[in-house]
Structure 1
């Protein structure tokens, strides 16, 4: 297995969906509390990335096994079949990555708080049952919520709490600004999953995957896709008004024309090869600019 195949197997190009929320959590910690725990951040980052890779490998592994014979997905589309990868090797990779990530997470919880343990258990459960089990979350109309909330919201919550736990109580007063702060990122991440499921609608039906798009239809899914883009920008503005984030994040509206143009182009013709990369571009652009503007705001 060369690096190119491994990168596709772990979906390396999509890792920004977890890395950027992690970075935003660090920025929030410094902005509101002027405190960072670099050792905790390093442990959490390594555990998070390894588990994220395990989840993506597991997703490919389960899709390979569940693929029906009514089309050529197993042999031509899924990377395990297409590249003729060793199934036992893939299984061992999944087990090894989950084990290493779990041990790091347990050690991090041991040196910090039981709250981190429960948040970690929740994240692990969502990640594993997203693809595994008799009714994986990815085959149900909750995949967008599960991915958006876990990566866009839970990751920053863990990150922030690991940095500032000595200064705060884990209660509603601590959580509600973070929930509002992370809503734009959660919407952007959920939108990527929604776009993916819209493009894969027919293929998913052939594989007995009944996602949200299956229930609401392609037309309504595209309306929702546009709505989540607008919500992400409006809630960012609300966060500025409530002083949850620096005023510099108002400049996020400068990229709205580009993101809306991508959104319109994708909505006219949702296609995995031609227009889905625009949805990936929207996520990367929105979260990276959000992070840059937050960083700039720390110094102004």
Structure 2
């Protein structure tokens, strides 16, 4: 297996989807609690990254064996069949990386408390169920919801908790506050999966993957894609209004013209190799502006 094949197997290009919520969690902790635990953050980042690669590798692994259209998808589209990768090696990597992530998570549990264990178990269950079993989440109408929830909200929540530990109170207000600050990332991550499912609509129908697009139709799915972007910016404004983020987060709105451009491109044409990248760019542009403006606000305040 070449490095290029490995990076495609773990979908390395999409790893920013988990890095952005992690950064938001750290910035939220610093701004609202005036604290950060560097060691806990590094350990969590490694565990998070390893498990994320395991989930994506597992997704490709399961899709390969579950494929119905033998010639088109299994041998031409899926990285395992196309590059004739060893399934035994891939399974070994999945076990090793997810096992290492679990051990690092257990170490953090001993440091910060059993609440983290519950949060970790939820993430592991969703990660495995995402592509495993007779009815995986990724092939259901709930894929976008769970992808955004775990990678957007849960990563930010865990990152906040491990940085502030005893200062964090598990109240409805505290949880909703983290949810609001993580909502832009949550929506943009969900949109990446939504865009993928829109582009793969015909292939998914053949493969009997009945995603959200199957139930909404492409036209309504595109409307949802647009409204998710609008709500992401509304969430930024509300975070400032409720004093959960520095006022300079308003600079994040400067990304709107760039995001709108990508939204237009994707709305006109939904082709995997040409315009799916628009959803990834929106995630990158929107999150980058959000994080940079948040950093400026933290420094100045």
- When the two structures are superposed, what TM-score results if normalisation uses the length of structure 1? 0.98
Q: For residues 133 and 102 of structure 2, what CA distance do their matches in structure 1 show?
A: 19
Partner of 2:108: helix, strand, or coil?
Answer: helix
| CA positional deviation for 1:224 | 0.5
Do structure 1's residue 160 and structure 2's residue 163 form an aligned pair?
no
Equivalence for 1:192: 192
Measure the CA separation in 1 of the matches of 2:71 and 2:289. Answer: 41
- How far apart in 2 are the matches of 1:173 and 1:138? 31
Is contact 1:195-1:279 (8 Å) kept?
Answer: yes
Give every structure 1 segment of 4 or more consecutive aligned residues whose post-TM-superposition deviation is greater than 4 Å. none
- Give per-residue Cα distances to partners, 1:116-135, cap 9 Å, x unaligned: 00000000111110000121
Give me the whole-angstrom Cα distance separating, in 2, the residues matched to 1:98 and 1:208.
Answer: 28
Match of 1:79 in 2: 79
Aligned to 2:275: 275
Gaps of 5+ in 1: none
Higher mean C-alpha displacement, 49-58 vs 175-184: 175-184
Match of 2:290 in 1: 290
Structure 2 alignment gaps of length 5 or more: none
Distance 1:173 1:234, change over 3 A: closer
Q: Tell whether the 8 Å contact from 2:145 to 2:190 is kept in structure 1 after alignment.
A: yes
Matched pairs, number: 300
Give, in whole Å, the separation in 1 of the partners of 2:50 and 2:74.
25
Measured after TM superposition, the shift of residue 277 of structure 1 is 1.0
Q: Is the 8 A contact 1:59 1:131 kept in 2?
A: yes
The answer for the alignment partner of 2:122 in structure 1 is: 122
Q: CA RMSD in A?
A: 1.0
Please give the per-residue CA displacement for 1:112-169, whole angstroms capped at 9, x wherever unaligned: 1111000000001111100001210001000000000101100010010111112132
1:70–1:206 contact (8 Å) kept in structure 2: no
**Contact between 1:141 and 1:213, CA under 8 Å: does it hold in 2?**
yes
The answer to whether structure 1 residue 202 and structure 2 residue 202 are counterparts is: yes
**What pairs with 1:18-57 in structure 2 (closer than 5 Å)?**
18-57=18-57
- Find the aligned partners of 1:114 and 1:77 in 2 and give their Cα distance: 42
- Deviation for aligned residue 1:71: 4.7
| Correspondence list, 1:75-224, <5 A | 75-224=75-224
Structure 2-normalised TM-score? 0.98
Q: Distance in 1 between the 2:16 and 2:134 partners?
A: 29
SS for the counterpart of 1:225 is helix
Match of 1:245 in 2: 245
Query: What is the Cα deviation at residue 70 of structure 1?
Result: 5.9
